[in-house]
Each structure stands twice: as C-alpha cells, then as structure tokens.
Structure 1
Amino acid sequence: MKFKIEKYILKKAEELSFITIKHDSEFKVEGYNIPSEGLQVPIKNEVLVKGIKEKTAQDNINAMSIVDAMIYIIGIDSQFRYNEEYKKFLNAFKNKVNLDLNAYMGYMSKKYFDIGEYTDSLIYLKALITINNDDINGLYHYAIVCQEMAKKYQKDNDDKAMNDFLLEALNKLEMVIDLDPEFALGYYHLGYHYYNQGQYVKSKVIWEEALKLGLDEDTTSEIQENIGKMDFKVQYEEGYNLVFQGRNEEGLEKLLPLEEDNSDWWNLLFMIGLAYKNMNEIETAKKYFEKILVIKPHQVDTMVELGLCEASTFNMEKAIEYFETAAKIKEDPEILCNLGMAYLNNGDLDDAIYYIERAYELDPQDEITIACLRELDMYR
C-alpha cells in the first residue's frame, strides 16, 4: 500500500532506539525463530528512559514493549528493512498470548486521538492497514485522522502538507467504499472531498448514495442542505464540461441562466466567454472576458483569451498588449509563444524570435513551442 503522507511522519523514528537480540538469546517467542545473524528490534526511548530511572530496564524491555515498538516503526516507515521480519514476530506473538493486534492498534490510536496527539494516532492506524490492508474500519479511521492532520497544517499555513493529507484521506475513503459499497459514512466524507475539489456533480452523486444507505437524522439533514445549496454549482460544472466537449450551445443553456444571480463569479463568466469564442462570436466573448478583468484585473488566463480574440480579428497591436501584460505576470511558454506569434504576424521578426526562443529555454519539450519554432524558421 502506498502512503502519500509518509514523509511527514518519518522523523518520529527518532523516538526509537534499537537493540540486538542474538540468535541464541534466552528471549524466545514460540513459533518464531530469531535469524542466525540476530534481530535488530526497536524500543521506544521513553521505555528505555523509564527503565533507567527506575533501575528496572530489564523489566521494562519485555516482549510487549518490543511488540509495541515494532508496530510503531511499521506505522512510521512502510519500507523499513525489518518490517517483514517484524510481521512474522508479531504473528507468532499474538498466537502465543492470544492478543488481538487489530484491537490493540485501534485502542492505541484512539488513546492518542482523544488527547489530540494525531500523529501518534495516525501511526498506529497506518501500521494496522499496512499489516491488514483490507481492514475497512482501520482504513476509515485512518482517513479521518488524515483529515484532522490536514486541519492542523491548514492552521500552520502549510498548503502542500494540507493537500497531501487530504488526498491521502480521499484515497483511503475510496478504498473503503470499494471494499464495502454500503459503508454510508465513507460516502458522507467523500462527498466533502469531491466538493472541495470542485467536482460538484460527483459530490452530489456520492451524497445521494449516502442518503440511500441511511445515516442519522442530523447527518441526513446536513447532506440534504448541502445538496440544495450546491445545485447551481452542479449546473455550472455540467455546463463547463459541455463547453470542453465542444458542445458550446448546450453548455450555454446551462451557464447563462446562472449569470443573473452570479454576475461577479469570474469562473462562470470565463466559461461563458470561452463558449462564445469557440462559436466565433468574438465580440460577445470579449465582453465577458472584459467583465472579468474589472473583477480580477490580474487574471492571466482571461488576458490570454482576450489576446487570442484580438488576434483572431487581426488586431495584432491589441493582442500583443494583452499577451505582454500576461507574460509580465506569468512567464509561461504558452503565453510567450502567443506573444511571439503575434509579433511575427505583425511583421516584427526580432521580437518574435526573442519570445519564442525564450519559451524554448523554459521548456524545450513543449509541443506548442516546438511547432512555433518550426514556423519561425520559415521566416529567418
């Protein structure tokens, strides 16, 4: 199983020390044979420190201490070199003492979760689903803790970490409903993930499935309220999907009715403008793009679309003006190529060469840039 968030918890390995149990040691677990070269086993530093303080290190470093630390390192690092050996040890130990390892890992996770120690809570659940990757409850609670970790990173203004934990939660929740298509709470949480990603149609479908499966009264009311509030966003998504499919008139049928109540929603205005541009209704398209620049004066994609509108009507001076403004905000190969081609069509070969070659410097593999270079070579 792959884990997107592992890099954020690897430092927890520093809380462990390792001791070597020799092959001929008196330490035995029925059903497990220590390798001939011995076995490096982990111990939590806090256990070692407690033993030293109480002068009872031998009593504290017992089989359960080793079991707990093995689980801990498996939960920290899924690629740790002794993990497979530790799994053999754990299997033998649970059989010997009749220990429910899943219950133990779940208990330890809840213990840490209840006191707000989410990283430790996550580690025990991560160990659980590493050892038993089809454990539905383990996967579900792991996803929930990932969501809590995402909130923590959001407060710290670490968007990269926040997004990684949200994507991890999303992935594991999808696994939950694949394993158990009737796990209602999995659909409930997934609906929020899709909603926050702007996948409103998918979010609605998932939430409707959650309602069919049955939830408590408060959660049901919450979902019904969400679905009601997002109707216009569902219609927007359906509209822009139609535009991207080249079905511009059908897209406008979905998008235009939304304009009256959402006149300052620039994404909506952009998709309407794009649909009109695709239909070659350039003047109408320009009006929508110009509205966006009143709301968001530095919206680069809108400047590029206005530049393309002007270029399509051979107004190269105006096209160059839009592309230059966009390039100053974002030095992107596609923008630079548009600017270079506008200069070329305006008879300015030197500037065309400069901008297209600059685009090539930024990304020599870009297909648009390569095509522009080929065309440019015809004029050198």
Structure 2
Amino acid sequence: MKFRIDKYLLKKTDELAFITVKKYGEFHLDGYEMPKDGLNVPIKNEVLVKGIKEKTAEHGVNSMSIADAMIYMIGIDSQFVYNEEYKKFLFALENKIDFNIRAYAGYMSRKYFELGETTDSLIYIKALVTLYPEDIEGLYNYAIVCQEVATTYQKDEDPKAMNDFLLEAGEKLEKIINMDESFALAYYHLGYHYYNQSQYIKSKVIWEEAMKLGLDEDIIAEIQENLGKMDYKVQYEEGYSLVFQGKFEEGLEKLLPLEEEYNDWWNLLFILGIAYKNMGEIDKARLYFEKILILRPKQVDTLVELALCEASSFNMERAVEILEQAAKLKEDPEILCNLGMAYLNVGNIDDAIYYIERAYELNPEDEITISCMRELGNYRIN
C-alpha cells in the first residue's frame, strides 16, 4: 500500500535506537530465522533509558520491546529496508506467544489518540494497515486520524502538509468504498473531502449514497442540511462543466438562473462570459467581463478574455491596452504572446518581437509560443 505522508513521519525515527542482533547470538525466536549477517532491530529510546535508570538494561531489550519498536518503525516508514524482516519476526512472535499484532497496534493507536498525541496514533494505525491492508476498519481509522493530524497542520499554518494529509485520508476513504460498498461512514466523510475540493457533484452523489446505507438520524440531518446549502454550487458545477464540454446553451440554462441571486459571484460571471464569447455573442460576453473588473480590477484571466473580445471586434488598440495591464500583473507566456500578436496586428513590430521573445524565454517548449515565434519570423527584417 502506498502512502503520501511518509515524509512527515520520518523525523520520528529520532525516537529509536538500533542494535545489531547476530545470527548466532543469544537472542533466539522459534519460527524465525535470523539473516546470516544479523539484523538491525529498533528499540525505543525511552525503553533503553528506563532500563539504564533501573539498572535492568539487559531486560529492557526483549522480544516485546523489539516488537513494539518494529511496529512503530513500519508505521513511520512503509519503505524501510528491513520491513520485510520485521514482518517475519512479528508474525513468528505472534505464533509463539499470546500476542495479537493487529489488536496491539489498534490499542496503541487509540491510546495515543485519546492522549492527544495524534502523530503517534497515526504511526501505529498506519503500521496496522501496512501489515493488514485488507483490514477495512483499520483503514477507516487511519483515514480519520489523518484528518485529525491535518487540523494540527492547519493550526500551524502549513497548508501543504494539511492538504497532503487530507488527500491521504480521501484516497483511503475511496479505497474503503471500493472494498466495501456498504461502509456508510466512509461515504459520509468522503463527502466532506469532495466538498472541500469544490467537487460538489461528487459530494452530492456520495452523500446521497451515504443516506441510503443507514446512518444515525443526526448525521442524516447534517447531510440533508449540507445538500440544501450547496444546491446552487452543484448547479454551478454542472453548468460550467457543460460550458467546458462545448455545450454552451445547455450550460447557460444551468447558470443564468443563478445570476439574479449571485450577481457578484465573479466565477459565475466569468463562465457566463466564456459561454457567450464562444457562442460569438461578443457584446454580451464583454458586459460580463467588464462587470467582473468592477468587482475585481486585477483579475488577470478576465482582463485577457476582455482583450480577446476587443480583438475579435477589431478594437486592437483597446486590446493592446488591456493586455498591457494583464502583463504587468502576471508575466505569463500566454499573456505575453497575446500581447505580442496584438502589437503585430497594429504594426508595432519592435514591441511584438520583445513580448513574444520574452514569452519564449519563459517557456521555449510551449506550442503556442513556438507558433507565435514562427509568425514573428515572417515580419523580421533580414
């Protein structure tokens, strides 16, 4: 099983020490054959320190303390070089004594979760699902702990880490419902993941499925409230999806009814403008883009679209003026190419050369930029 959050846990290896156990040393476990070169086994630093303080260091290192640290290491790094040997050791130990690895890892995860130590909780539950990837309940608990860890990164204002843990949780929830289509709580939590990613149609579908599977009345009421609140967002997503599929009239049927109530929602106005522009109704498109710029004067994509409307109406001087504003806000190859071609159309070859060549410097592999460079070649003075 793959995990996207290993890198955030690797620092926890600082809490482990490693000792080399030789093949023919005193340490022996029935059912497990030590590699001929021995094995580096982990021990938690706290175990060693406690053994030293109590002058029982020789008893601090035993099968159970090694097993605990192995589970911990597997949970930290799913790609650790000795993991396969650790698994052999753990399963041999499980067969020898009354030791249930799955139950132990689950217990330790719950224990640390209740103590508020969510990273350690995550490590143990991650070890469980690494050792038992078919354990759906363990996978669900893993996703929930990932969500909890994400909130700590949110408080620490680390959006990259927060997003990685949320994506990890979402991926594992999707895995759960692929394994068990009746796992209602996985659908419930997954609905929030889609919602937070602005995938409102998927969120609606998954929440409606959750309600069919049977949940507590309070949770059903919560879902119904969410569905009511996001109905307009679902309609918007359906509309812009149709627009980007080239079904402009169908998209407008979805989007126009939203305009009266959400007339200051610039994203909605933008998609309406795009639809009309692609239908050739330039005057209508222009009105939407101009309205957005009243609300958000520095919205670069809107400036570019308005400039293209002006260019299609042969108002090239106005198109140049607007594209200059956009280029000052964002030095993007596409914007610079549009500006260069606009200058070319008004006969300003020097500025056209400057902006198109600058676009090529920024991204020499872009097909549009390469095409503009070819076009520019027809105007160069040999």
Task: Please indicate the TM-score interval, normalised by the length of the shorter structure.
Answer: over 0.9
SS at structure 2 position matched to 1:19: strand
What secondary structure is seen at the aligned counterpart in 2 of 1:17? strand
Amino acid at match of 1:182: S
Alignment of 1:1-380 (within 5 A): 1-380=1-380
| CA distance, structure 2, for counterparts of residue 335 and residue 196 of structure 1 | 30
Q: Distance in 2 between matches of 1:279 and 1:179?
A: 45
1:67 CA displacement: 0.4
Give how far 1:123 is off.
0.7
SS in 1 for 2:78: coil
Structure 1 Cα separation of the partners of residues 329 and 73 of structure 2: 46
Question: Could you say what secondary structure the match of 1:379 adopts?
Answer: coil
Aligned length: 380
- 2: CA distance, partners of 1:275 / 1:88: 61
Deviations 1:306-339 (A, max 9, x none): 1111111121121112212112221111111111
The one-letter code sitting in structure 2 at the alignment partner of 1:43 is: I
Code of the residue aligned with 1:245 in structure 2: it is Q
Q: Using the alignment, how far apart are the partners of 1:183 and 1:107 within structure 2?
A: 22
2:343 maps to amino acid: Y
Deviations 1:210-252 (A, max 9, x none): 0000100100000011111111111111100110011111111
Q: Report Cα offsets for 1:172-202 as digits up to 9, x if no partner.
A: 1000100111000000011011111111111
Runs of 4+ in 1 over 3 A off after TM superposition: none
User: Aligned partner of 2:124: which letter?
Assistant: Y
Q: Structure 1 CA distance, aligned partners of 2:57 and 2:69?
A: 15
Normalised TM-score (structure 2): 0.98
Matched to 1:30, the amino acid is: D
Q: CA deviation at 1:302?
A: 0.7
For normalisation by structure 1, the TM-score amounts to 0.98
Q: Secondary structure at the match of 2:3?
A: coil
The separation in 1 between residues aligned to 2:307 and 2:95, in whole angstroms, is: 71
Question: Deviation at 1:31?
Answer: 0.4
User: Deviations 1:99-127 (Å, cap 9, x if unpaired)?
Assistant: 22111111111111111111111111111
Once residues 36 and 15 of structure 1 are traced to their aligned partners in structure 2, the CA distance between those partners, rounded to angstroms, is 27
State the shift of 1:135 in Å: 1.4
How far apart are 1:5 and its partner, in Å?
1.2
Report how far residue 98 of structure 1 moved. Answer: 3.1
> In the TM superposition, what is the alpha-carbon distance from 1:293 to its structure 2 partner?
1.3
Unmatched segments (≥5 aa) in structure 1: none
AA aligned opposite 1:115: L
d(CA) in 1 for partners of 2:228 and 2:248? 26
Q: Which moved more, 1:11-20 or 1:329-338?
A: 329-338
The gaps in structure 2 that reach 5 residues or longer are: none
* Alpha-carbon separation, structure 1, partners of 2:68 and 2:99: 12
